[in-house]
Amino acid sequence: MPQNDTTTNQKEIQTKITKSVLDLIILKLIDQQPMHGYQIITKIRKTFNVHFGPSTIYPLLAQLEQKEQLTSTWNTTTEKPRKIFTITHTGKNILKIAETTVDNLYKTIHTIENNNNTTQQ
């Protein structure tokens, strides 16, 4: 497979997986520190090397707020008012369940991989 195809496939897979857990990524980022939308967009881009624009992030933030996983307040002390998001108790519980699930999934995949390696020898 040519290098470009590999790079394209890797980027495609990385974007797909990141998007599928984007709500959990946002909860984790906000759990570490309350943030406004643009900070979240920038942090995701830098951390995961994937770009999601405002049309993806802001509706998701609104959904998480409707589900009471986030709350928001307006910071009007800066030149440009910003809506700052904070994780709620419900959000922390969802995040804990998700982290355990992802950890178990990773362990299961690793177990399958190790079993296959053992069987093939």
pLDDT mean over 99-108: 94
Using alpha carbons, select from 28, 62, 26, 31 the residue that is nearest to residue 41: 26
Domain boundaries, given as residue ranges, for the chain = 10-120
Q: What is the pTM of this model?
A: 0.84
Band of residue 3 on the pLDDT scale cut at 50, 70, 90:
low
82: left (phi over 0), alpha (psi -120 to 50) or beta: beta
* CATH no. of 10-120: 1.10.10.10
E-strand stretches of 4-62: 35-36
pLDDT mean over 56-60: 97
